[in-house]
Amino acid sequence: MKKIAQPTVGVVGATGAVGRTIQSILAERDFPVEHLRLLASERSAGSVVDTPWGSVTIENLAEADPAGIDIAIFSAGGGRSREYAPRFVEAGAAVIDNSSAFRRDPDVPLVVAQVNDEAIESHKGIIANPNCTTMALMMAIAPLHRAAGIDRMVAMSYQATSGSGQQGMDTLERQIAELGTDRDALQHGVWKDPGGDLYQRPIGYNVLPMAGAITEAGHTDEEWKLVHETRKILDAPNIRVEPTCVRVPTMVGHGIAATMFFDRPMSGQEAKEILADAPGAQVWPDDHVPTPLDSAGIDDVLVGRIRETIGDPGGISLWAVGDNLRKGAALNTVQLAELLLDR
Ligand code: A2P
């Protein structure tokens, strides 16, 4: 793998919720940016952004020349990644892609920093950043998998609206404001649909027990991502995963409640000890259970409610929550970029 010393970094989708977080994390972590290029749609092209590396004019992705970019971080949706990432690679860039476009491609490594760093070595130009829900879960379960081998897992997600991008947070804010003016109507089920084309049903004062769109076998694309990405990241193609992905009315912080059974029984004490030493994860005690609000704005994934299974003994149940814009997306892309550095 070619290592890079002082890269020119391109952020594609620079105006989005993740794209903006990528820029602040590059600055926070003192990433050695030689030159920063910001790319978005023609809607944003031409506007000027102040950055720690000087003023940068946003370029129109459709017209930009990728020559000179060493590391490109894409977070502008799968369509843009499919169309432009190969062109960037051809022009000499290593692409870290935050979309689902290449995650299942056997030639593209799918990497969670601090979990399977070594997988990046085999990249041929594109490196895939996992889905935000899978990412938080991996930080909590990969160490347990290494100790005892996960055989099967039931995982339920509680996904924040920022997982749907800026528009998700805007929809939540607007619907809470509109629906919140009439508590009586909410209590009696006569609320007026606040509308919005992002989610099929209101997310304000509500829970959507189906995050994503139904694809195969009655499962959503988000649920299939949990299945396939878990297997690929842990390099364990036989793990049986039963996912349910739910959208909840929070801004930031995806939570996952998971129950796992291993190749051998695991005690709650052992699970706690393993996770206490896990990089990038913090174990919180039962009298201070971590919530999505606790996770917002921080890098670590928070783990709580670690306990032994009761109906079928020998397994472990836990709760993990992580900032989906940071470790779930932007932070991991920057950590992957750090693995490409020559230092
Ligand atoms: P723009 O702001 O110009 O539309 P989010 O997921 O938070 O909504 O962000 C999506 C990001 O992807 C934004 O930066 C957005 O840019 C960018 N994007 C969306 N469509 C395109 C496109 N056709 N070409 C380039 N960038 C796009």
Q: What is the pLDDT of residues 309-338, one digit of tens each?
A: 999 999 999 999 999 999 999 999 999 999
Asked whether the predicted pLDDT for residue 52 surpasses 80, the reply is yes
152-164 mean pLDDT: 97
Atom of ligand 1 nearest to the CA of 167: 8
CATH 3.40.50.2000 fits 134-323, yes or no: no
φ, ψ (nearest 5 deg) of residue 257 = -100, 120
Residue whose CA lies nearest to ligand 1 atom number 12: 76
Average pLDDT for 282-292: 98
Alpha-carbon gap, residue 131 to 152, rounded angstroms = 20
- pLDDT greater than 90 at residue 1: no
Give the sign of the dihedral formed by CA 38, CA 41, CA 44, CA 45. positive
d(CA 205, CA 193): 12
The answer to whether the CB of 237 falls within 8 A of the CB of 104 is no
User: What's the 218 CA to ligand 1 centre distance in angstroms?
Assistant: 30
Nearest CA to ligand 1 atom 24: 41
Candidate list 123, 132, 145, 219, residue with the active-site label: 132
In this prediction, residues 138-145 reach a mean pLDDT of 98
Q: Provide the pLDDT for residue 2.
A: 85
> Distance from the CA of 12 to the center of ligand 1, in angstroms?
8
Q: Among the options 123, 145, 219, 254, which is catalytic?
A: 254
Average pLDDT, the chain: 97
Compute, in angstroms, the gap from residue 228 CA to the centroid of ligand 1.
26
Nearest residue (by CA) to ligand 1, atom 25, is 41
**7 in ligand 1 pocket by Cβ < 6 Å?**
no
Q: For residue 41, report the distance from its CA to the centre of ligand 1, in Å.
A: 6
132 is catalytic: yes
CATH number belonging to domain 8-130+329-342? 3.40.50.720
Ligand 1 atom with the smallest distance to the CA of 42 is 3
| Per-residue confidence (pLDDT) for residue 197, from 0 to 100 | 84
> Is the pLDDT at 343 greater than 80, yes or no?
no
How far does the centroid of ligand 1 lie from the alpha carbon of residue 88, in Å?
A: 17
342 falls in which pLDDT band (50, 70, 90)? confident
In which residue ranges of the chain is CATH 3.40.50.720 found?
A: 8-130+329-342
Integer CA distances (angstroms), 77 to 7, 23, 164, 209, in order: 24, 17, 11, 23
81 lines ligand 1 (CB under 6 A): no
Mutation pick for ligand 1 pocket among 12, 18, 20, 41 (CB with most ligand atoms within 8 Å):
41
Q: Where residue 162 falls among pLDDT bands split at 50, 70, 90?
A: very high
Q: Catalytic annotation on 228? A: no
Q: Where in the chain is the domain with CATH 3.30.360.10?
A: 134-323
Distance 43 CA to ligand 1 centre (A): 9
106 pLDDT tier (thresholds 50, 70, 90): very high
Ligand 1 binding pocket includes 169 (Cβ within 6 Å): no
65-84 mean pLDDT: 98
Flag whether pLDDT at 289 surpasses 80. Answer: yes
126 has pLDDT over 80: yes
